[in-house]
Structure 1
Amino acid sequence: MSDSNTTDFTNPSTFILLGIPGLEVAHVWISIPFCAMYAIAILGNFTILFVVKKELSLRAPMYYFLCMLAITDLVLSTSTLPKMLSIFWFSSREISLSACLTQMFFIHCFTVMESGILVAMALDRYVAICDPLRHSTILTNPVVAKIGLAVVLRGSMLIVPYLILTRQWPYCKSNIIPDTYCTHMAVVKLACANTHISSYYGLFVVFGVRGLDVFFIAVSYTQILRAIFRLPTKDARLKTIGTCSSHLCSILAFYIPSLFSSLAYRFGLNVALHFRVLIGNVSLLVPPMLNPIIYGVRTKQIWDRLLQLFTHKEN
């Protein structure tokens, strides 16, 4: 490695975020769709929270979990986009070590939390379809609150080791991160030490935690599909599938780009760097934008309440 690519510092106080390497000249243009996605995410998720708060008929487990998802999406998108835009618009690429670790915590913690919320929503759909008569007695408000607390604690406890491990490594290779935000593996790759423990722990979180979440979701929907196919009429089957379609769309929008981004980072898949960075950004911005659209359009109660609000304002 040439001297120009290395530095003589140890544990730098700041890192340099390059943005999207190879597409620097297009940063301003790239920021336009990113801004649009963020604006839709903010407006849509706040609308979900507002509607559920105002409408007493929506005080049910499904909508409580939907509010948790909206809050998670708001934090997840807000933890990345402001710094991303400062890079694109003002070439403000420096980020302090503390700010980098804080951003890393919020990104990874709320990603794990979102995965946990999707599992909770799958549980809600399973009970609602497979044991509807006991739904209100199984998923009571205290139980929903405990599930929400467990999701938050799980996300926090799993990601704190990221910060502890990342902070202990000596950094003397470079302080340049070829990305728009700080992630665990992006920072750890700059360490001049044996960082296998960080890599293994990161793989545990990806496969052992999120992989387990996907397994539980798959088991829930296997049981749901079995219950659906036992329904007597085609109309009943279609109606029941319709109640699950929003959740399935959210699952696909969250897990597919997120899994691809994680694998590309860790195993160096034969993917252009700028494409990998773009996919990483998409995995953090698209689900927060899509979720309120999916649930707002596909969930009749939310859609009807929105129409009522606009109708009353016009009158």
Structure 2
Amino acid sequence: MHLPSPQQLRYLVALADHGHFSRAAAACAVTQSTLSAGIIALERQLGVALLERGPLKRPVFTAIGLSVVDRGRAALRALEAVVETADSGRAPLSGPLRLGVIPTIGPFLLPRLMPALRAAHPRLRLWLREDVTARLAEDLEAGRLDLLLLALPAALHGAETLAVAEDAFLAAMPEGHRLAGESTVPMSALAAERLLLLEDGHCLREHALDACRLSAARETEGFSATSLHTLVQMVAGGLGVTLLPRLAVEGGVLAGTALAVRPLDEPASRTLGLAWRSRSPRAAEFRGLAEAVREAIGAAPA
């Protein structure tokens, strides 16, 4: 039996991921003709048609082709795991590490975390991807990312998670706001305010509503933001109040604004944690990173 080569499987998976021959070829650093020839050779070797041939420029996979793509993706992940196992045996936390981080953590924690990791693990090559939780979860499951730094709980299929720290929510409002005169903001008082939150798709929205036991119906209709910096500017403009994670406040999200932040009278927080594929051979390394993340979270800037 002649087995497919890893390169042939990479070509096939890249074509499925990119949905376009030229983009798939660019992702594999080969010419389009090389990629096409590799897939044709794979079809001949397997004795089945993986793609439908016709006038359409975009690739259309046959039913068996889609199954082979799924098997090929799993095979490539298994081969990568072989290399990762060998790498971790030679020198833990060395070589490439593809880290995904959500936007409400990355800009505020990475400036503290990255220098510490470079100093402690000089042979570690960290590649970063910032995106919302749902897309990072897809990339983790597909093997495009190795590790996630996110807020828990999260919808993660086939992943192991490790809670690292709690990140308290703070109420933020203009300095002249009636709640700014309070040492702590009563949770019940937020129900009477125009509450501004991030738009759908950002897990911070759901975590804030759940942690503070607020209903989405109490939000200001038609008002939402795509980032914490935009959210802060909306509050500074007098459009309402919001809930911000302490990590972002300590990370400088309020810079250049005249906002007041106050703790809530009832503790409310989100859980920050790490996530990786449950069968990753680097699981022990990832657990070892938890302490570095905890220290970075606790190292508030002066």
Q: Same fold (TM over 0.5)?
A: no
Q: TM-score, normalised by structure 1?
A: 0.21
* Structure with a larger share of its residues in strand: 2
Bigger relative contact order (CA 8 A; separation at least 6) = 1
| Structure of greater Rg | 2
Q: TM-score, normalised by structure 2?
A: 0.22
* Structure with a larger share of its residues in helix: 1
